[in-house]
C-alpha cells in the first residue's frame, strides 16, 4: 500500500473543508467532556516542586536562560549538584508562559495540558488522513487516541506535559516531513526541522523520529528519490542533534545517562515482556493507575516466556502482512519510539511501565488501527461503527472516572493508590495527609508500611517525616532515634531543613534550648521562609527569657504563614494582645 494523498491533484473543496472542521469540532467536544474533572483539579505529586514552588517559572529570566537549566536538578545539603540527566528546556518555558497567564493556578496549567492534547490529536488526525486516506477512519482512530484512558496520566498530571509536548512536536515534524519530501518542497522541510528541534528540547523521545522518517521513506513513500536525496534531507536534522547534545553536555555534564553493562543481557531478555505489557494496557485498558511494575522474579517465569513467544508471533504476522505497508509501518514506528523506555539503558524510574510513556508510541499504533477500521468498514460498516462506538464510550467513561477519582487532587490520588490498589509506593504520601489531619494512628500505619515495603527508597525523607509524626504525638525519644538513624543519609535541601527543624524540636523538648536554637537557625539558613522553624525558634527563645527575640520570631512565622494559628497563639501569650 502506498500513500494515496498524492493521487488527489484537485483543489480542496468547500465540502471537504466543512467536513474537516466538523471532525475537529467532534474531537474538541469529546476531549473537553471527558476531561471536565481535570479543569477543577489541583497540583499533585511533583507538580508542587516543579511548578508550584519552582522559582524558575516565577522569576523574570531571559529567554536564553531556559536553555541552560537542567530539568529536575536537585541540590544536596552539602551544596553538590546531583544531575538528573534530563535536558528539557522547553518544559520550563511553557510553565513560565502558563504562570504569566494563570499565576500559580493548577486549573490554568491543567487547561494548557488539555489544549496541547487537542493539538496533538489534530496533527495525528491529519497524519492518518495522509497515510490512510479515509476521513471517518482517521476520525475514529484519533478519537480512540484522544479518549484513551492510558493518556489521562499525561494530560491530567501537569508535570507529565513533556510527553504531550514531545508528541505534538514529533507529529507535526512528521506531518511536515511527509508533505515536504513527497512534494520536494523546502518550506515544509524547514517547518519539520523546526518542530524536530522543539521535540528534542521537550524530551529525549524526540530523537526517535529520525529513524521513523527513514522507515517512512523506505516502506511508505510514493517518491523514490536517489540515495543522496534521501540522505541529504537529514543534514539539517543532524545539525539540530549536534547542537542539542552540545547543550545537553554543557548543562547536565552527560551525553547519555550512566549505563551499567553488568546486567545488559538480562535487560535485553526482558524487552519482549515490557513490549507485551505495554501493548496489553493499550489494547485492553483496565485496572489503570500509577503503575509500579518490576521485572519478573525469574527468567523462567511464565510472563517473560509468553512474551517472547507473543512478540515472535507478532514478527511472523508482520512478515506475512508485509504488503500492508501502512500497517507494518505503524507497528515498527511504535517499536522504534518506545525503545527509550524498554530499560535497555536503565532509567531512574522505580517502574518498568508507566502510562505517560505510552502517549507518543500509542499515536503510531493508531495509524494501523485506522487502516484496520477502513478495511472493516468496507466489508461490515454497520457492525464496525457499532463496535467502535461502544469502545469509544468505554474509553470516554473510563477516562472521565480516572480524571475525577484518581488524578484530581492528592487526597483522592493517595487514597486510590494506597487503599484501593494497595500501591504502597505512595504510602508515605497518604501518611503525610493523615498526619496533617492529626490522625496519628492511621498516619503511623502507612509510614511503617512504606518503610517495610520500600526500605531503600527516599529513606531519609521517610525517616524525617515519621519523626514529625512522633514529635506531634509527643514521642520525643522515638523521634530522636529516627532522626539519628537518618543523620548520615543524603538529603535534599528541603529534607535537611526539615531534619534540622525536627532535631531542634527534640532538643528543645529535652531542655537543651541552645542546641535547639542552633538547629532552627541552620534550618532557616537553608529555607529563610520556613514558618515552622521561626515558630519553634520563638518557643526556644521564650524558654530562655529572650522575649523580644521570641516575639520577632513569631512575627516572622506569621509573615510567611498569616494563617499559622500556633504562632499567633504563642505571640498572644507573650504580648498579651
Long-range contacts of 292-296 (CB under 8 A, 24+ apart): 292/350, 292/351, 292/423, 292/425, 293/351, 293/352, 293/353, 294/351, 294/352, 295/266, 295/270, 295/352, 296/270
Residue 577 has pLDDT above 80, yes or no: no
Could you give phi then psi for residue 342, rounded to 5 degrees? -90, 0
> Are residues 545 and 518 in contact, defined by beta-carbon separation less than 8 angstroms?
no
Per-residue pLDDT at 575? 81
Instruction: Return the pLDDT at 263.
Output: 84
pLDDT at 364: 97
Q: How confident is the model at residue 80 (pLDDT cuts 50, 70, 90)?
A: low
Render pLDDT for 196-238 as a digit per residue (tens, 0 to 9). Answer: 999 999 999 999 999 999 999 999 998 888 888 888 899 999 9
Domain extents in the chain: 14-68+83-405, 412-575
- The DSSP code for 11 is P
DSSP state letter for 75: E
Predicted confidence at residue 391, as pLDDT, reads 95
* pLDDT above 50 (res 145): yes
Quick check: 45 and 80 in contact, CB under 8 A? no
The proportion of the chain whose per-residue pLDDT surpasses 90, expressed as a percent, equals 62
**Are 233 and 193 spatial neighbours (Cβ–Cβ below 8 Å)?**
no
- String of b and e for 281-319 (b: at least 16 CB within 10 Å)? bbeebeebbbbbeebeeeeeeebbeebbebbeebeeeee
Q: Is the pLDDT of residue 74 over 50?
A: no
Of 110-119, 222-231, 302-311, 455-464, which gets the smallest average pLDDT?
A: 455-464
pLDDT band at 384 (very low <50, low <70, confident <90, very high): confident
- pLDDT above 80 (res 550): yes
Hey, which of 347-351, 392-396, 479-483 has the most confident mean pLDDT? 392-396
For 127-140, give one letter per residue: b (16+ CB within 10 A) or e: bbbbbbbbbbbbbb
Round to whole Å and give the CA distance between 219 and 327. Answer: 10
Mean pLDDT (the chain) is: 89
Closest CA to 217 of 251, 281, 174: 174
Q: What band does 6 get if pLDDT is binned at 50, 70 and 90?
A: very low
Instruction: Evaluate the CA torsion angle 123, 129, 135, 137 in order and state its sign.
Output: negative
- Whether the pLDDT of residue 194 is over 90: the answer is yes
Is the model more confident about 9 or about 312? Answer: 312
Q: Provide φ and ψ at 3, rounded to 5°.
A: -65, 125
Half-sphere exposure of 125 (CA within 13 A, CB side): 24
In the chain, the percentage of residues whose pLDDT exceeds 70 is 93
Least confident interval from 48-57, 74-83, 289-298, 356-365: 74-83
Q: How many CB atoms lie within 10 A of CB 50?
A: 20
Q: What is the mean pLDDT of residues 56-68?
A: 82
Question: Could you tell me the pTM of the whole model?
Answer: 0.89
Model confidence at 3: pLDDT above 50? no
Q: What is each CA distance from 447 to 55, 293, 351, 439, in whole angstroms?
A: 30, 21, 21, 12
Residue 464: is its pLDDT beyond 80? yes
- Asked if the model's pLDDT at residue 1 lies above 50, the reply is no
Alpha-carbon distance of 206 to 198, in angstroms, equals 8
The pLDDT of residue 10: 42
pLDDT of residue 257: 64
Model pLDDT, residue 4: 42
Stretch among 164-178, 284-298, 453-467, 544-558 having the lowest mean pLDDT: 453-467
Residue 138 above 90 pLDDT?
yes
pLDDT at 54 over 90: no
Cα–Cα dist 568/573, whole Å: 9
Write out pLDDT tens, residues 241-253: 999 999 988 887 7
Q: Which pLDDT belongs to residue 41?
A: 94
Q: What is the pLDDT of residues 91-123, one digit of tens each?
A: 989 999 999 999 989 999 999 999 999 999 999
pLDDT of residue 405: 94
Residues 76, 490 contacting (CB under 8 angstroms): yes
Residue 17 CA to residue 9 CA, distance in Å, equals: 16
CA pair distance 447, 472, nearest whole angstrom: 14
Give me the mean pLDDT over the 254-278 stretch.
Answer: 84
Residue-level pLDDT at 123: 96
Specify the residue for cell string 543532524: 238
pLDDT confidence of residue 11:
47
Averaging pLDDT over each range in 16-20, 92-96, 348-352, which range is the top one? 92-96
Dihedral sign from CA coordinates of 68, 72, 75, 81: negative
**Whole-angstrom Cα distance, residue 259 to residue 265?**
13
Judged by DSSP in three states, 492 sits in: strand
Average pLDDT over residues 388-404: 96
**Cα 312-388-278 angle, rounded to 5 deg:** 35
98 in Cβ contact with 112 (< 8 Å): yes
CATH topology of domain 412-575: 1.25.40
Q: Where are the beta strands (DSSP E) in 283-355?
A: none
Amino acid at each position: 500500500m502506498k500513500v494515496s494523498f498524492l493521487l488527489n491533484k484537485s483543489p480542496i473543496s468547500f465540502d471537504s473543508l466543512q467536513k474537516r472542521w466538523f471532525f475537529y469540532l467532534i474531537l474538541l467536544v469529546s476531549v473537553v467532556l471527558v476531561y471536565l474533572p481535570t479543569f477543577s483539579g489541583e497540583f499533585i505529586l511533583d507538580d508542587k516542586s516543579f511548578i508550584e514552588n519552582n522559582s524558575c517559572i516565577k522569576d523574570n529570566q531571559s529567554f536564553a536562560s531556559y536553555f541552560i537549566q537542567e530539568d529536575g536538578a536537585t541540590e544536596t545539603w552539602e551544596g553538590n549538584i546531583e544531575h538528573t540527566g534530563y535536558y528539557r528546556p522547553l518544559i520550563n518555558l511553557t510553565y513560565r508562559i502558563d504562570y504569566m497567564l494563570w499565576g500559580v493556578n493548577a486549573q490554568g496549567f491543567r487547561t494548557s495540558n488539555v489544549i496541547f492534547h487537542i493539538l496533538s490529536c489534530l496533527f495525528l488526525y491529519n497524519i492518518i488522513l495522509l497515510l490512510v486516506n479515509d476521513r471517518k477512519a482517521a476520525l475514529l482512530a484519533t478519537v480512540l487516541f484522544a479518549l484513551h484512558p492510558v493518556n489521562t496520566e499525561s494530560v491530567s498530571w501537569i508535570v507529565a506535559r513533556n510527553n504531550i509536548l514531545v508528541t505534538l512536536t514529533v507529529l507535526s515534524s512528521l506531518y511536515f516531513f511527509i508533505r515536504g519530501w513527497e512534494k520536494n518542497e523546502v518550506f515544509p522541510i524547514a517547518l519539520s526541522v523546526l518542530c524536530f528541534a522543539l521535540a528534542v528540547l521537550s524530551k529525549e523521545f524526540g530523537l526517535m523520529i529520525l529513524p521513523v522518517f527513514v522507515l517512512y521513506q523506505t516502506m511508505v513513500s510514493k517518491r523514490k528519490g536517489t540515495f543522496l536525496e534521501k540522505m541529504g534531507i537529514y543534514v539539517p536534522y543532524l545539525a539540530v542533534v549536534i547542537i542539542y547534545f552540545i547543550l545537553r553536555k554543557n548543562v547536565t555534564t552527560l551525553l547519555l545517562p550512566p549505563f551499567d553493562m553488568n546486567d545488559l543481557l538480562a535487560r535485553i531478555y526482558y524487552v519482549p515482556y515490557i513490549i507485551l505489557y505495554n501493548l496489553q494496557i493499550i489494547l485492553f485498558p483496565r485496572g489503570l493507575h500509577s503503575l509500579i511494575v518490576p521485572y519478573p522474579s525469574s527468567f523462567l517465569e511464565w510472563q517473560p516466556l509468553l512474551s517472547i513467544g507473543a512478540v515472535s508471533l507478532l514478527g511472523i504476522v508482520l512478515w506475512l502482512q508485509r504488503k500492508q505497508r501502512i500497517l507494518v509501518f505503524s507497528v515498527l514506528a511504535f517499536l522504534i519510539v518506545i525503545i527509550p523506555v524498554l530499560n535497555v539503558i536503565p532509567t531512574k524510574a522505580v517502574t518498568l511501565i508507566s502510562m505517560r510513556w505510552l502517549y507518543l508510541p500509542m499515536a503510531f499504533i493508531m495509524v494501523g488501527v485506522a487502516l484496520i477500521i477502513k478495511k472493516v468498514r468496507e466489508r461490515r460498516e454497520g457492525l464496525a461503527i457499532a463496535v467502535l462506538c461502544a469502545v469509544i464510550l468505554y474509553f470516554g467513561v473510563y477516562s472521565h472516572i480516572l480524571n475525577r477519582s484518581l488524578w484530581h487532587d492528592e487526597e483522592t490520588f493517595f487514597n486510590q493508590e494506597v487503599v484501593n490498589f494497595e500501591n504502597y509506593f505512595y504510602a508515605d504520601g497518604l501518611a503525610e495527609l493523615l498526619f496533617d489531619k492529626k490522625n496519628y494512628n492511621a498516619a503511623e500505619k502507612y509510614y511503617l508500611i512504606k518503610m517495610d515495603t520500600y526500605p531503600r527508597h527516599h529513606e531519609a525523607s521517610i525517616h524525617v517525616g515519621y519523626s514529625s509524626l512522633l514529635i506531634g504525638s509527643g514521642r520525643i525519644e522515638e523521634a530522636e532515634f529516627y532522626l539519628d538513624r537518618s543523620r548520615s543519609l543524603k538529603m535534599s535541601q528541603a529534607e535537611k531543613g526539615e531534619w534540622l527543624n525536627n532535631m531542634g524540636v527534640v532538643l528543645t523538648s529535652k531542655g537543651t534550648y541552645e542546641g535547639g536554637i542552633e538547629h532552627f537557625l541552620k534550618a532557616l539558613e537553608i529555607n529563610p521562609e520556613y514558618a515552622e522553624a521561626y515558630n519553634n525558634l520563638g518557643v526556644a527563645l521564650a524558654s530562655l527569657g529572650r522575649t523580644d527575640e521570641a516575639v520577632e520570631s513569631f512575627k516572622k512565622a506569621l509573615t510567611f504563614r498569616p494563617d499559622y494559628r500556633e504562632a499567633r497563639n504563642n505571640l498572644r501569650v507573650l504580648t498579651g494582645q
